[in-house]
Amino acid sequence: MNPDVSDISDRPHNDDASDYGVEKVDVSAVGKKKKPESQYQKRIKIHPKRVHGTYRTLKWWVMGVTLGVYYVTPWLRWDRGPNAPDQAVLIDFSAQRFYFFFIEIWPQEVYYITGLLIMAAMGLFLLTTVMGRAWCGYTCPQTVWTDLFLVVERFIEGDRNARIKLDRAKASAKKIFKKLSKYLIWLLIAIGTGGAWVFYFADAPTLASQLINFNAPTTAYITIGILTATTFVLGGFAREQVCTYMCPWPRIQGAMVDEDSLIVTYRSYRGEPRGPHKASDTWDGRGHCIDCNQCIAACPAGIDIREGMQLEYINCALCIDACNTVMEKVDLPQGLISYDTLRNLAARNVKNGQKTKAVRPRILIYTVMLALVGLMMAYVLATRPDLEINVLHDRNPIFVTLSDGSIRNGYTFKILNKAYQRRTFSLKTEGVKNVKLSIVGAATLAQSSPPVFHVDPDQLRSFRLFVAAPPNVVTADTTPIRFVLIDIDKGTQAAYKSIFRGPKR
């Protein structure tokens, strides 16, 4: 059963652990509540205690890096040449482009997004197999913003005991001032979160100026409002409830984690039997856990890691720092709570000295799939052409017989110029002899055959193309025809196979 941290008292205790300067946290009422009449129970607010140590420092660094990437990325510049956006990362819906530094993704190249999603899934599966819910504990946006909101809460209201006292205190000017100050800073952070997100969809400096002058698109204000509300509520109030009830990953992780996954574990073979301990007592016949409950007080989900991996567990390792601090005070080796595997934990319990399997089939499968998809995407990106064409034959009419007896077919011709410079093309056909080409919707440079015309940089050009052939050439109702577009300056080509329709023979 998970500990009910609502019963953790903020009052000091006169117990044996105090001999070492360790304040015992009272959880004596855990599991002793009367069974509620309703199947639904009111949420129990958790007040995580601040801890110091290796993993807390690591989480600070991860929080700083991830928040820095999120807030700074829209302001990075990347020179793509004239008439092209210079924002390094930009999702441009109006131009139907996704820019990521030197990479440009067009709508028809959505398979790149599919590849990224597959890589993200395989990476998450691999990380979970190796280290449990390390993503949840360190880099998940919910974890990062909750940590940030907790920094503000501790700064204004104090550490765990002070916050508990404040929540239990009656309404007063001091309490209202602290609460409103906290909510105001939370709101500013939430507005900054929503504001940073919309900068990914438009030129950041331009949109920032529009937002300040209140002449930005209505969509931008609506998006900022929605993200502000969700960040404020989820990071400030819902917190661990998001991880426990809203996120599906706690339920999926059971299929990803095995007995060799490196997870935060309580080494019961060393800690049990637990109990209070005085400085003058011997450690013979008892475990190293002095039952101070500091691991529970430090846990942002309020669970007791000594009960094993649970649904709320996010592998954040703050309980390791809390326990190591206590072990140092009682002059015992650190690592009573540590990263370990279930296989190794069971082996230590039975004293048979088995070792963890570092290389396992599922790790190899996830690694190979991740590498294959990554290499495939890199190859396709490196070899993809900067010129594509698409030709669509008219459905109605299929063909037209002209006054001179020649057969004419109509096509919709599209040119995709992915280069960042204006290009000049000529068009020719293969497969049907002596045809005449006429173009509607493109200003040709010469009224000659083959036609020559321009396409602007990084643009999709669409026009109507008519192909007329003499009657003696069209000997079947369907004749293969090949359109060849030639870049006059570079000599590169793009071809497309289609058909030329005529009367039945």
In tens digits, the chain (505 residues) has pLDDT values of 344 443 444 433 434 555 555 656 655 444 444 555 666 667 788 899 999 999 999 999 999 999 999 999 999 999 887 778 889 999 988 878 888 988 888 888 888 888 889 999 999 899 888 888 889 899 999 999 999 999 999 999 999 999 999 989 999 999 999 999 999 999 999 999 988 999 999 999 999 999 999 998 999 999 999 999 999 999 999 898 898 888 888 888 777 888 888 889 999 888 888 888 887 788 888 889 988 899 999 999 888 898 888 888 888 899 999 999 999 988 899 989 999 888 888 877 655 555 667 788 888 999 999 999 999 988 888 888 888 889 999 988 889 998 888 899 999 998 888 888 888 888 888 888 888 888 876 555 445 567 777 888 888 888 888 999 888 888 788 889 999 998 888 888 889 999 998 888 6
pLDDT at site 31: 42
Q: Give the SS3 label for residue 112.
A: helix
Asked whether 232 and 188 are in contact (CB, 8 A), the reply is no
pLDDT at site 26: 55
Strands (E), 101-198: 103-105
**May I ask the CATH architecture of the domain 387-501?**
Sandwich (2.60)
Cα angle vertex 129, ends 126, 133, to 5°? 95
pLDDT at site 262: 87
Residue 405: how many CB atoms within 10 A of its CB?
9
Backbone angles phi, psi at 456, to 5 degrees: -65, 160
pLDDT at site 503: 86
Asked whether 306 and 39 are in contact (CB, 8 A), the reply is no
pLDDT at site 2: 41
Task: Return d(Cα 45, Cα 43) in angstroms, integer.
Answer: 6
Under DSSP, the state recorded for 87 is: B
CATH 2.60.40.10 intervals, the chain: 387-501
Which distant-in-sequence residues (6+ apart) come within 8 Å of 66 by Cβ?
Answer: 139, 141, 144
pLDDT at site 197: 93
pTM of structure: 0.77
pLDDT at site 144: 93
